[in-house]
């Protein structure tokens, strides 16, 4: 009789542990997802040529702006800390509405829905727009993050980049999941 109970006891404890670990595991996955996305945002900046008028002054920082809800937490701040690209310090700004011209070179938004197109159109040239989901590039965004087989991937809309007067490196385009024209 003891033999029958032995195999069941470890199974019981394993199942019980999973009940308590699963929510933490899901949180950790989401946190890791946004750490990866934060690193992507920084790397996107390295593979984009901005027009000179994208910046307020020759030594203005390169600003990554988070528009609306901030899913990154401190991860984005940690990633850009002490980073310099093309002689410009990289900074993070959190904003609640479309920024004034020349204040953001990358705008990330997790927002979805009808208002996205209006927000994107209000940004003007010189801004790399990054969002999430298939609809983002269809609404006029330049780069959209997607999760595919538990990996962070991204799509690029080349025409939207050209309309924003941005030149994307062929190395960036080569690692995109899809590139729209």
In this prediction, what percent of the chain has a pLDDT beyond 90? Answer: 64
Give the pLDDT of residue 17. 34
* List of residues 6+ apart from 148 with CB closer than 8 A: 177
**Which is nearest to 68 in space by CA: 87, 96, 48, 27?**
96
Cα torsion 41, 43, 49, 50 to 10°: value is: 30
Query: For residue range 112-152, what is the model confidence (pLDDT) as tens digits?
Result: 777 788 888 888 899 999 999 988 998 899 999 999 988 99
Do the beta carbons of residue 156 and residue 173 sit within 8 Å? yes
pLDDT at 61 over 80: yes
- Domains of the chain from N-terminus onward: 36-180 (3.40.50.2300)
Query: For residue range 9-37, what is the model confidence (pLDDT) as tens digits?
Result: 343 333 333 333 333 333 446 668 999 99
Which residue has 């994107």 as its token pair?
120
pTM for this one? 0.83
**Which is nearest to 55 in space by CA: 120, 141, 127, 130?**
127
Distance between CA atoms of residues 123 and 142, nearest Å:
12
């Amino acid at each position: 009789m003891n033999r029958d109970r032995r195999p069941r006891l470890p199974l019981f404890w394993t199942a019980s542990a999973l009940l308590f670990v699963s929510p933490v595991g899901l949180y950790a996955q989401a946190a890791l997802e946004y750490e990866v996305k934060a690193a992507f945002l920084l790397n996107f900046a390295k593979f984009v040529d901005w027009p000179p008028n994208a910046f307020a002054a020759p030594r203005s920082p390169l600003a990554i702006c988070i528009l609306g809800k901030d899913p990154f937490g401190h991860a984005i701040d940690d990633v850009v800390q002490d980073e310099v690209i093309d002689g410009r310090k990289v900074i993070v700004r959190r904003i609640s509405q479309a920024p004034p011209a020349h204040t953001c070179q990358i705008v990330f938004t997790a927002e979805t829905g009808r208002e996205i197109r209006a927000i994107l159109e209000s940004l003007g040239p010189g801004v790399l727009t990054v969002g999430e989901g298939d609809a983002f590039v269809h609404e006029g965004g330049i780069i959209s993050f997607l999760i595919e087989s538990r990996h962070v991937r991204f799509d690029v809309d080349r025409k939207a980049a050209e309309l924003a007067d941005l030149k994307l490196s062929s190395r960036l385009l080569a690692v995109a999941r899809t590139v729209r024209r």
